[in-house]
Amino acid sequence: PRWGLFSHFDQLGFRCPTNHNPADFVMFLIHKEGDEVLDQLTSNWRTSTSAKQLTTRIMHAGDHFNPEAARAASRILSSDSDSSDTEEDESSSGDEASTKVFGQPRKKRNCLQAQWALIRRDGRRIWRDKSLVLSANIQNLLVSLVYGWLFFGAGKQESRDLGFSSSLLALPVGEEPCLDTTLLENSLARDQCVRMFQVHWGALSIVAINAMMGSITWAITVFQNERSCFLRESSSGYYTNFSYFLSKTLFEFPVMALSIIVSILSVYWLMGLRANPVVLMCEVLLLSVASSSIVFCLSAQASTSEQAYALAPIAQIPQFAFAGILLPNEMVPLSLRWLKWLCPLYYGMTMMALSEFSEIVDRFQDCEEEVSANGTVPVSNVTELMSKKCPGAVIQVTALRSQGVNENFFWWPAFSMCCIFFVGFRLLSVYILWRKSRFVH
Tens of pLDDT, residue by residue over 277-289, are 999 999 999 999 9
Phi-psi region of 324 (alpha: psi -120 to 50; beta: other; left: phi over 0): left
Beta carbons of 223 and 307 less than 8 angstroms apart:
no
Rounded CA-CA distance 181/168 in Å is: 19
The angle formed by the CA atoms of residues 418, 346 and 394, to the nearest 5 degrees, is: 125
Q: State which H helix or E strand residue 86 sits in.
A: helix 83-91
CA distances from 380 to 107, 121, 316, 389, 392 (A): 76, 65, 41, 16, 20
State the first-to-last Cα distance of the chain, in angstroms, to the nearest integer. Answer: 17
Quote the pLDDT of residue 194.
86
Query: What pLDDT is recorded for position 90?
Result: 44
Does pLDDT of 49 surpass 60?
yes
| Positions of E strands within 187-323 | none
Residue 44 DSSP symbol: H
- State the Cα torsion 200-203-209-214 to the nearest 10°: -150
- Of the two residues 282 and 407, the one the predictor is more confident about is 282
CA distance linking residue 326 with residue 89, whole number of Å:
76
pLDDT value of position 260: 93
Question: Between 210 and 7, whose confidence is greater?
Answer: 210
Nearest to 233 by CA among 8, 9, 19, 441: 441
**Mean pLDDT, all residues of the chain:** 78
Q: What is the mean pLDDT of residues 316-333?
A: 84
Query: What is the chain's Cα-based Rg?
Result: 32
Give yes or no for residue 418 having a pLDDT over 80: yes
* Closest listed residue to residue 256, CA positions, set 204, 211, 224: 211
102-153 pLDDT, tens digit each: 344 445 566 788 888 888 888 888 888 888 889 989 999 999 999 999 998 8
User: Between these two residues, 85 and 435, which has the higher pLDDT value?
Assistant: 435
Mean pLDDT over 366-393 rounds to 76
Q: Which of 225-234, 298-307, 340-349 has the highest mean pLDDT?
A: 340-349
The model's pLDDT over 51-96, given as tens digits with 9 standing for 90+, comes to 777 777 666 665 555 556 555 555 554 454 444 444 444 444 444 4
Average pLDDT of the segment spanning 253-264: 91
The continuous run of DSSP H or E covering 270 comes out as: helix 241-271
